[in-house]
Structure 1
């Protein structure tokens, strides 16, 4: 073990592995903390990949992606979000995970500070730290429905601040930072000369009339914003590993060589599938959103009955649940809930949240399984809850 490089952190590995191993020993576990849609990829997308394979489209593409797909992505961003990019200002990645690493490799020097919302998806932390950067957490709060508060961002800016990562809707909270706050954040970025990475992977998943505003559309923001998105969540394509970045060409050019080094190009048949996702019918996306919305109602109602509070999620497919009513810290609650009720949820510590009162639940089980999970928690209350 002394031979292993020290640059790779393993902060959450022990606890995460422990939960997974515990779940593997039990039968009929309901996994309520998933981030992988249970719904199938729409048929026309899968068919496009099959046809590409049949045509022999199984070789390298340009590291930045197929020209047709890059143009389709530029068109999609304009159509759906009002963003103005050319095909040359896009780059196709092997999922947004690779996009995160590319961004940090291209932009973060040792000692640079990167502002990240908390709670958050912690792949950002790993990428920043691998590049020698420093993570600076910007807290969000249940009272604000976990939306970013501009004043909390500005209070943490120093001369070493290089970048702000704006994630809306957010994982794990489902928070949508409202347009007025986005406008304030844009002014802060311009005032302090900060790059903004706008992670919009959940931007099509909005509830109750919530509005998503892409910060790159605002005056003076196009040249300092990198927009990141993909098809994994909107089109149930997690396993296809296809995402994209859009930014002014100097940013994109800076990422091409690291992108070539990491994986040469995104999987070629997956690029053809993504082309079908971008240019084909969007009915399935709307149908998925309706399904998630219905499940959301069931889960929120069940949490109310349990006495658990939450910052009502306006987007994505997660509910960040305050389990303080159980009388247990979240880490202990998750272990006991799995053992006594065979329901698997994830504590906030896995999402860079120092407040050990929250767990992530998701809408990625059929309604009857969500109802069953709530029923199991109620039945196990006397064995799990401390109060």
Structure 2
């Protein structure tokens, strides 16, 4: 039986998720050039304001938030998270199994630092949210990327996942709903992943930050709800769903069999205490944000801005010769495919750089999400409809004569 202990070493690895495209964009901005950004999932710059009650809740509690909290978070925040987790079917046993964080990103780094020793492996999806790979690397581990299949709605390729498990594998990461594809995994897929983790005695890390940004009547299932016998860490937060990315408010819940991970949990408690606590003013808004589990944001319904912009970008991309895209079911990203042979593309980063230089529009190349083939890029469809229309007209014009040199 596998056992897990808190990690004893950290590899001194520096990982830059920005790269030369972002560096060039910043240089262009510094020179006074106007860059149109389709690269980052931050709702605020695109006039998506936080709900009024969220701002009011933080304002009303500022005087209560002047000191440190418990390292895992204030009781009322963890109680709200506990209640939400049980609504989702996640079998969290107590408030002690809940940790608040300065966004999910901080917690991703923390869970990997607590788990991995040099040479340990973690299965991470391709494409992925790149911080997962970076955090595995920083902790001294190796991110082994399993393929998500574009021809099957971007669902994980279970055969590929299975064959990449070795005696060094410690965990499986899933991102559901997915960034950058917008895929939402069906229950049947999640049950098979849970069974895989069970058979190989692996931890499951489930990044569910977009679980309230669903469209088309799609329902989200938390994998932890399907395997109460498997140790799972489920990560979530408010940055995207409540348009408060700058407030840095996230959390994680521990569930399942903890008998083999006692040393790991000790490590998590130590790491949690070392940063004293997460942002206390933001903790006070969790209760208000999670108050209505069943409400669907009007922005995600037909006629709502996110829904309509999703419809536009999906249809526009598929109308451009040489591009195709799977319709996302959640979040606000789309991961289109470009015909690499048609445009002689051997370097997707160079393609994005060429587009930036000619059209002053910033995208992210597929390789930034650990997609190995030079044939994808990500678009954030948060900008207003007229701006998306402009960007797609520019893309159509750019591709008319483009050949990579």
**1:305 equivalent in alignment to 2:319:** yes
5 Å matches for 1:317-356? 317-324=332-339, 326-328=343-345, 329-356=347-374
Structure-2 residue corresponding to 1:257: 270
**1:266 equivalent in alignment to 2:278:** yes
Structure-2 residue corresponding to 1:31: 37
Structure-2 residue corresponding to 1:165: 173
Bigger shift: 361-370 or 20-29? 20-29
Alpha-carbon offset, residue 12 of structure 1: 5.3
Alpha-carbon offset, residue 386 of structure 1: 6.1
**1:276 equivalent in alignment to 2:288:** yes
Aligned length: 378
Structure-1 residue corresponding to 2:14: 8
5 Å matches for 1:1-387? 6-10=12-16, 13-22=19-28, 24-25=30-31, 27-37=33-43, 38=46, 39-53=48-62, 55-79=63-87, 81-85=88-92, 86-221=94-229, 223-248=230-255, 250=262, 253-261=266-274, 263-279=275-291, 286-290=297-301, 291-307=305-321, 308-324=323-339, 326-328=343-345, 329-382=347-400, 384=402
Alpha-carbon offset, residue 27 of structure 1: 3.9
Work out whether residues 147 and 175 of structure 1, in 8 Å CA contact, stay in contact via their aligned partners in 2: yes
Bigger shift: 171-180 or 250-259? 250-259
Task: Give secondary structure in 2 for the equivalent of 1:76.
Answer: helix
Gaps in structure 1 of 5+ consecutive residues: none
Distance 2:31 2:151 in 1: 38
**1:232-260: CA deviation from partner (whole Å, max 9, x where unpaired):** 11111111111001004756554122022
Alpha-carbon offset, residue 378 of structure 1: 2.6
Alpha-carbon offset, residue 35 of structure 1: 1.2
**1:296-344: CA deviation from partner (whole Å, max 9, x where unpaired):** 0010111022131123322221100112254434222212222222221
**1:99-152: CA deviation from partner (whole Å, max 9, x where unpaired):** 101111222122211000011111112211222111111122321222112211
Work out whether residues 146 and 173 of structure 1, in 8 Å CA contact, stay in contact via their aligned partners in 2: yes
Task: Give secondary structure in 2 for the equivalent of 1:174.
Answer: coil
Task: Give secondary structure in 2 for the equivalent of 1:265.
Answer: coil
Distance 1:266 1:152 in 2: 37
Bigger shift: 351-360 or 320-329? 320-329
Alpha-carbon offset, residue 381 of structure 1: 3.8
Work out whether residues 314 and 326 of structure 2, in 8 Å CA contact, stay in contact via their aligned partners in 1: no
Alpha-carbon offset, residue 177 of structure 1: 2.2
Alpha-carbon offset, residue 8 of structure 1: 1.8
Distance 1:277 1:191 in 2: 37
Root-mean-square deviation over aligned CA pairs = 2.3
Alpha-carbon offset, residue 26 of structure 1: 5.8
Distance 1:138 1:281 in 2: 32
Bigger shift: 271-280 or 24-33? 24-33
Gaps in structure 2 of 5+ consecutive residues: 1-10
Task: Give secondary structure in 2 for the equivalent of 1:166.
Answer: strand
Alpha-carbon offset, residue 7 of structure 1: 2.2
Work out whether residues 107 and 251 of structure 2, in 8 Å CA contact, stay in contact via their aligned partners in 1: yes
Distance 1:173 1:136 in 2: 19
Work out whether residues 92 and 244 of structure 1, in 8 Å CA contact, stay in contact via their aligned partners in 2: yes
Task: Give secondary structure in 1 for the equivalent of 2:60.
Answer: helix
Change (3 A) 1:25 1:171: farther
**1:49-84: CA deviation from partner (whole Å, max 9, x where unpaired):** 11112x3421100000001100000111222x2223
In terms of fraction of residues, the more helix-rich structure is: 1
Task: Give secondary structure in 2 for the equivalent of 1:163.
Answer: strand
Task: Give secondary structure in 2 for the equivalent of 1:183.
Answer: helix
